[in-house]
Every structure is written in structure tokens, then in C-alpha cells.
Structure 1
């Protein structure tokens, strides 16, 4: 058994959820927030047989897309007033972060 923890951007989560349902993959879905951009994410926790790990990873990869967005960095309040104007910067968001962990025991009640 393996535990897959997949963190995807909220914009990609509904498509991935549908793929999991169609493939009969049970997942626990958590609403999470990214630390840097403070944007909404969805974290899936999936207990799965080792033979199906590649299938799940393929689904995550195909449904999680990187994209560019503009964000305004926080203003430094310690700076002089003329330096406090924050301009939007282009950042890459999206994609997925996935952890695959070994599981000694898995039970459903």
C-alpha cells in the first residue's frame, strides 16, 4: 500500500475529482492554502494499492496545469514612502506537488 498526497491548485481540482470518481479511486479531499501566494489549493490523500500508483500520478499530471498569473507583492512598511509602491509581478502557479509514502497498514471502517 501507498499513501499519495497530491496538492493541486483549486482551478484543477474539479477535473481531477471527476477522474478519480470515474476510475473508482477513493480520495479524501482537503481545502488548503498555499503559503507564498496565499491562493486556494486542494490536497488529496489517497490510500492505494502499489499497482495503481502510476495510474494516479498520470491523472494528477494530466489535470494539473501550470499557468502564469500576476501578483502584487506585499508593501514593505519600513521603507520610505516613495519606495512603497508595489507593482504586479508575473509568477508561475499551478502544477502539482505529490508525495508517495509507504504504508504499513491501511484499514477502512
Structure 2
């Protein structure tokens, strides 16, 4: 998985995706999900294992998660409810928001 963290005025923004999703656009009906290198990849993105992803998601204020493996890690850790996951053109997408 690729993991990227950014500090923003609102808190820690985390993006996680499966590497094969980078550069892809998934569309279904009126919904379009563009997994850009600028947001999910780039020099600041690092390969991460499940434990590192869970740690980052736990510290995040907001997170965007794309791909079967990345979303699965968040579900397995109890951070995302499987019923709230979107499937867009066969690809899983979840958002996480902690109110602290």
C-alpha cells in the first residue's frame, strides 16, 4: 500500500491506496473517483504495511482510502464500517473522519 500524510490547519490528512490504483479513474453513474499521483502518490508517499497504515489512520483527522487491500485493512482494524464503503467501478473507496 502507499501511504501519505500531510499536516493541514484542520489536522492530519492521510491518503492510502493500493499501488495499482495510482493514475486510474473509476466511474460509475454520476460518481467518479480519480486516484491521482498528486494526492495519493508523489515523493511523500511511502510503501506501508498493515500495521503502519492502521497507526496512521488512527492518528488521522481525515483519511481517504482506495483499493481492496487498503480498505480491507481499515475494515479489519475496526476503523471503517464495511457498510459505509463505496464501490465505484469495481474499486473500493472509504473516507474516515475523526471528530476530536
Q: Same fold (TM over 0.5)?
A: no
Of structures 1 and 2, the one with the larger relative CO (CA 8 A, separation 6+) is: 1
TM-score (structure 1 length as normaliser): 0.27
TM-score (structure 2 length as normaliser): 0.28
